[in-house]
Amino acid sequence: MIYEKLPQTDLDVSKICLGTMTWGQQNTEEEGHAQMDFALDKGVNFFDTAEMYSVPGRAETQGSTERIIGNWFTKTGHRDKVILASKITGPSPTFKHIRENLGFSKEAIQEALHKSLKRLQTDYLDLYQLHWPERNANFFGQRDYKHNPDERWQDNIAQILDSLEEFVTQGKIRHIGISNETPFGLFRYIEETRNRNSKVVSVQNAYNLLNRKDEIGLSEILLRENIGYLPYSPLGFGQLTGKYLDGYPKNSRVSLFPNYNRYHKENGFRATRKYKAIADEYNLSLTKLSLAFVNQRPFVTSTIIGATSLDQLKENIDSVEVHLSDEILKKIDAVHEEIPNPAP
């Protein structure tokens, strides 16, 4: 395994981060425990979860993933071997079953954090992330920002940080991160932390061969300001494994949950076929090509992978052993030039 320093911290995180959002819905608790056993044995020391998981979010399964992880900690005693990240749910009319006070008020953060800690059976989180902004922004399948002049959001970044810092001081949070954020949002957090002890150390956004929009503005900020980047959906909900090129396999995510189709537009398939041709030319699986590309980006700290089987998990973790040559990268960039960011 390769390890990277999570910027502005003393934490060495594995280049592969174990994503967990299927545990409790697509995966049983037993399967989740098996994945954690396997990943830890392979050197993966970084796990990511969220209070709203498993996904898709439902009242019946909300919090199930954190409970599965907490039960594994109690069973194995491995809490000290894992760098653990979780997320607080942002405002949404869809997820009122989680809490009535969705968002990042002081009261909301206190309630969400304490419930997560209880489910996870731990006293602290190494990284606590805001799952998505309170303001209108382009995330979850939206390519462009569309301004709403009637938006009621008022800049409350300082107040959010004040609340989070209290829990850092108490030792319940070690570090603060954000997710599904834009360059504007990241820079506002950076501005507000210039003279604070607590910094925003990471951004968790969707990033893959079909969605490289964070290279346009965000990546420069990450590199110049020393902020970690934790890309999720590096395989585009499975599209970049190639398994959807000839139909929809039974029990695959998009078969089970058809609204998870943002990577399935015509240009997404066109680009995927071209990337598969490159992988075939160099005797690589499309999965390993796709993950190795993300792993090698200079602004990427740790790639969040998710799997529903141990075979998938093994291939995903093994991607750290693949190094793409300059020749392969030039061919990838040629496809990107022809079909840029087909899936937001």
For residues 262 and 343, what is the distance between their CA atoms, to the nearest angstrom? 6
Residues 31-35: contacts with CB under 8 Å, at least 24 apart: 31/308, 32/65, 32/68, 32/69, 32/72, 33/68, 33/71, 33/72, 33/75, 34/310, 35/307, 35/310, 35/313
Which residue do the tokens 């008022």 mark?
A: 154
The one catalytic residue among 53, 128, 189, 232: 53
Q: Tell me the longest C-alpha to C-alpha distance in the chain.
A: 55
Is 53 designated active site? yes
**CA quadruple 186, 187, 191, 197: dihedral positive or negative?**
positive
Instruction: Please give, one letter per residue, the 3-state secondary structure of 55-76.
Output: CCCCCCCCCHHHHHHHHHHHHH
For residues 240 and 8, what is the distance between their CA atoms, to the nearest angstrom? 32
β-sheet bridge partners, residue 116: none
The answer to whether 16 and 1 are in contact (CB under 8 A) is: yes
For residues 16 and 320, what is the distance between their CA atoms, to the nearest angstrom? 8
Annotated catalytic residues are: 53
